[in-house]
């Protein structure tokens, strides 16, 4: 039930309740017939003021005094609520769009999701879970409304148009997900995004065979083929079920107390040139180093204790969120100044 429907129901309930209290009160206190009691309550609430249908006793007039205050207040609130509802129905879309635009204009280092189909919704769920700012773009108004009802920033527009990408702050964005229905549209978005912001990280989906190589040549930083990946995972689940279970463990929600994160080693960190053994991360910080992504692009899995880290490397680590934040601070701290 939406907010306007709830408001209408509350108005009706308040009016009916007031009328019921007045009808019962006049009937019990001064013996009014039920219809006369109802009519007296209605004229009192609406301030029509025809006068007393039947003479009221002192107790009846005291009751009527309270009914006037309560009833008139109820009517005024109902009128105000209905006026607000009418204004929202007439101007709500314009006000919402203006507010949406202001919020998008204030975004920085955010992510853009082009397409809010099944793939786009999955990407939006993960970004929302990570707590990072993002905006959804889709040319289907129903999908955009669905995203907005879920509390997301969304724009109903064609993401293959440069004007749309400018609208969602492509110049200030950190990354973009191209999850449109066709490879041609995703390729078009990829080329437009890279042309408007060469530094943006673009992850795109590829449906057709051979599209992955073309998208990488066009500048995609990451390309995922959902159908091929699903088929591969299904076969692996038959051949190596425990391996698949572990991969699901590491790529999905590990748990409230455990997370997997990538942490960059700052070039000014005092940890630069130290080995895994010397850093004592497992003992001192409480995290496990699963891999190191070297600045050259090489990925070192299960690095030996003698492996040294350098500025620009990324440590793929597992641990509790608090310990991971401690590690981020440790790897970002500048080296102590020499005297």
- Domain boundaries for CATH 3.40.50.720 within the chain: 107-229
Res 255: pLDDT: 53
Res. 79 pLDDT band, cuts 50 70 90: confident
- Domain boundaries for CATH 1.10.287.70 within the chain: 3-102
Instruction: Report whether pLDDT(78) > 50.
Output: yes
CATH fold, domain 255-332, is: Alpha-Beta Plaits (3.30.70)
Res 270: pLDDT: 85
Tell me the per-residue pLDDT of 197-250, one tens digit each, with 9 for 90 and over: 999 999 999 888 788 889 999 999 999 887 777 787 788 888 888 777 777 766
Res. 187 pLDDT band, cuts 50 70 90: very high
Res 116: pLDDT: 95
SS3 224: strand
> 107-229: CATH homologous superfamily?
NAD(P)-binding Rossmann-like Domain (3.40.50.720)
Res 96: pLDDT: 62
- In angstroms, the first-to-last Cα distance of the chain is 68
Spatial separation of the C-alpha atoms in residues 7 and 260, rounded to whole Å:
45
Spatial separation of the C-alpha atoms in residues 134 and 114, rounded to whole Å:
11
Res 297: pLDDT: 81
Spatial separation of the C-alpha atoms in residues 124 and 147, rounded to whole Å:
9
Burial grade of 42 (CB within 10 A; 0-12, 13-18, 19 or more): middle
Spatial separation of the C-alpha atoms in residues 156 and 100, rounded to whole Å:
11
Highest mean pLDDT among 24-28, 175-179, 285-289, 292-296: 175-179
CB 138 within 8 A of CB 115: yes
Res. 105 pLDDT band, cuts 50 70 90: confident
* From 143-152, 202-211, 225-234, 301-310, the region with the lowest mean pLDDT: 225-234
CATH class of 3-102: mainly alpha
Res 134: pLDDT: 95
Token digits of residue 84:
């607000």
Indicate the pairing of strand 201-205 with strand 175-178: parallel
Res 279: pLDDT: 87
Res 223: pLDDT: 92
- Domain boundaries for CATH 3.30.70.1450 within the chain: 255-332
User: 97 vs 227, which has greater pLDDT?
Assistant: 227
β-bridge partners, 136: 113, 154
Spatial separation of the C-alpha atoms in residues 71 and 77, rounded to whole Å:
10
Res. 338 pLDDT band, cuts 50 70 90: very low
Q: Quote the DSSP letter at residue 285.
A: I
Instruction: Kindly report the average pLDDT of the chain as a whole number.
Output: 85
Instruction: Report whether pLDDT(339) > 70.
Output: no
Spatial separation of the C-alpha atoms in residues 52 and 30, rounded to whole Å:
12
Number of Cβ atoms within 10 Å of the Cβ of 292: 22
Closest to 312 measured CA to CA, from 335, 324, 296, 299: 296
Instruction: Report whether pLDDT(55) > 50.
Output: yes
* From 8-17, 76-85, 95-104, the region with the lowest mean pLDDT: 95-104
Instruction: Report whether pLDDT(21) > 50.
Output: yes
Closest to 178 measured CA to CA, from 140, 147, 224: 224
């Amino acid at each position: 039930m939406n907010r306007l429907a709830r408001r209408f129901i509350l108005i009706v309930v308040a009016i009916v309740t007031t009328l019921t209290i007045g009808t019962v009160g006049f009937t019990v206190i001064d013996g009014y017939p039920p219809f006369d009691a109802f009519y007296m309550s209605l004229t009192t609430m609406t301030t029509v003021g025809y006068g007393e249908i039947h003479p009221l006793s002192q107790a009846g007039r005291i009751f009527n005094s309270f009914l006037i205050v309560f009833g008139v207040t109820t009517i005024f609130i109902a009128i105000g609520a209905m006026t607000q509802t009418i204004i929202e129905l007439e101007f709500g879309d314009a006000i919402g769009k203006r507010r949406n635009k202001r919020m998008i204009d204030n975004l920085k280092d955010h992510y853009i999701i082009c397409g809010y189909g099944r793939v786009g919704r999955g990407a939006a769920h993960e970004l929302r879970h990570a707590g990072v700012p993002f905006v959804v773009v889709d040319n289907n108004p129903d999908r955009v409304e669905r995203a907005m009802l879920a509390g997301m920033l969304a724009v109903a527009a064609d993401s293959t148009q440069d004007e749309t990408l400018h609208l969602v702050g492509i110049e200030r964005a950190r990354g973009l997900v191209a999850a449109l229905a066709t490879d041609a549209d995703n390729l078009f978005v990829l080329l437009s995004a890279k042309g408007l912001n060469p530094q943006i990280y673009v992850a795109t989906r590829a449906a057709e065979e051979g599209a992955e190589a073309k998208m990488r040549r066009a500048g995609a930083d990451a390309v995922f083929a959902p159908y091929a990946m699903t088929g591969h995972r299904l076969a692996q689940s038959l051949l190596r079920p425990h391996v698949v279970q572990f991969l699901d463990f590491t790529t999905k929600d590990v748990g409230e107390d455990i997370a997997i994160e990538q942490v960059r080693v700052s070039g000014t960190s005092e940890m630069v040139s130290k080995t895994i053994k010397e850093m004592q991360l497992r003992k001192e910080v409480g995290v496990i180093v699963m891999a190191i992504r070297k600045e050259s692009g090489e990925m070192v899995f299960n690095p030996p204790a003698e492996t040294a880290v350098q500025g620009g490397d990324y440590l793929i680590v597992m641990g509790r969120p608090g310990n991971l934040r401690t590690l981020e601070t440790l790897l970002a701290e500048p080296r102590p100044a020499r005297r």
